[in-house]
Amino acid sequence: MKNNINRPLKVVSPGRVNLLGEHVDYNDGLVLPAAIDRYVTFKATPVNDQTVTVHALDLQSSCQFSLESLEKKKDIHGEELPSWAEYPAGVAWVFMNHGFEIRGLEVSYSSTIPIGAGLSSSAAVEVGFAVLWQAAAGWKLDRLTLAQLCQEAENRYVGVNCGLMDQFACANGVKDHAVLFDTRSLESKPVPLPPNTAIVIADSGVRRSLTDSSYNERRSDCETAVRLLKKVYPGIHALRDVSPNQLENEKGILPGVVYKRARHVVSEVARVQKALIRLNEGDAQGFGELMVETHASLRDDYEVSIPELDVLVASALELPGCLGARLTGAGFGGCTVNLVLEQNVKGFISKLAKVYHSRTGENAKVYLCHASQGAMLK
């Protein structure tokens, strides 16, 4: 525990894109994220006192807080921590509560992950700080536990009721692979991405307006569905346990909106199961078709899409080489993810941006991504 390091440290922590399995993580479902080669890069120097000085270069903002008074959520001048500084402070707070040594640091970080676009920039920050503190103090921790503690920081300190997928993907990414993550058993395995294809992300430019109430309503609808379906199927614990046939047979006992929300989750869990077969067979076309089905389900049943995302998806599917497209992340803004044949990527990127602008008047940033390794010390 006492292999303290005093040399400068550098950590890179990736964002993530979820390829399939949207809004199922809080229903005990299976998700299929990939870490991407868009990173938060940290440069840190350990210090010999209990202060942490953080420079968020992209925000042109700095904050200094003491490890001895994290509970108060104040900086060393007694002012409220800015919201962005709650992420590193929360990580330190949780790890110290669990008995891990956390050292004072001076840290500068910047990001190539678009903020607020649904690519997990906040989880990348949390996991990056966790890896930094682990390196500075010399303790070791498996990556699942590290991700769980970062999730705890976001839930209990920052106050965002997120699932585990984002932190897990940022910590456990595998180069050139998606990672299947079972949010119930917490088991995971890498899954090869289709050969000769690329992941292209299109940022709509619309920042997510997912309010807590919208998100909480959908979680509540899922819980209502489980409660009502339990009367017929007492063995179920979450929507993950309900088959499409069971849901259709009992749709009459569910209020209309609750049924639609449940239909998305139940069908999405089934799509991830099909996706595994298609990926293991190298069936890029079949995997892309499932992405398109997911977008329709998120748009019509879960109602988390917006016109700009629908335009991006429809426009992408008209272009040569696009095998699949859908919104990714929570919805209400942010990005789409596209599966594109490698030979068509260059043309796809330039054409999609032009078509989107012509149809909406908005500018989309479209960029090629590769599935990457999880957060690491450089």
Tens digits of residue pLDDT in 11-26: 999 999 999 999 999 9
pLDDT for 78 beyond 60: yes
211's enclosing H/E stretch is none
Query: How far apart, in whole angstroms, are the C-alpha atoms of residue 34 and residue 170?
Result: 8
Q: In the beta sheet, which residues pair with residue 343?
A: none
- Round the average pLDDT of the chain to a whole number and report it: 95
What's the confidence (pLDDT) of residue 1?
44
Beta bridge partners of 21: none
Per-domain boundaries in the chain: 9-192, 197-369
Phi, psi of 45 (to 5 degrees): -125, 120
Q: What fold, for 197-369?
A: Alpha-Beta Plaits (3.30.70)
Q: How many whole angstroms separate alpha carbon 146 and alpha carbon 334? A: 27
**What distances in angstroms separate CA 50 from CA 65, 80, 121, 327, one per listed residue?**
9, 18, 26, 43
Distance CA 41, CA 6 (A): 19
DSSP-assigned letters across all residues of 76-145: TTSPBPPGGGHHHHHHHHHHHHTT-----EEEEEEESSPTTSSS-HHHHHHHHHHHHHHHHHT----HHH
Residue 2 pLDDT class (50, 70, 90 cuts) = low
For residue 128, which phi and psi values (nearest 5 degrees)?
A: -60, -45
The CATH code that applies to domain 9-192 is 3.30.230.10
Length of the chain: 378
Indicate if the alpha-carbon torsion angle 206, 210, 211, 212 is positive or negative: negative
**pLDDT confidence of residue 5:** 73
Task: Give 256 or 163, the one with higher predicted confidence.
Answer: 256
CA 108, CA 114: separation in Å to the nearest integer? 18
Assigned token pair, 197: 């294809």
pTM of the entire predicted model:
0.92
- Encode pLDDT of 335-375 as tens digits: 999 999 999 999 999 999 999 999 999 999 999 999 999 99
Catalytic: 166?
yes
C-alpha span between 63 and 85 (Å, rounded): 7
Q: Given 166, 203, 221, 301, which residue is catalytic? A: 166
A 10 A CB-CB count for 255 gives: 12
Confidence of residue 211 (pLDDT cuts 50, 70, 90): low
pLDDT for the residue 160 = 84
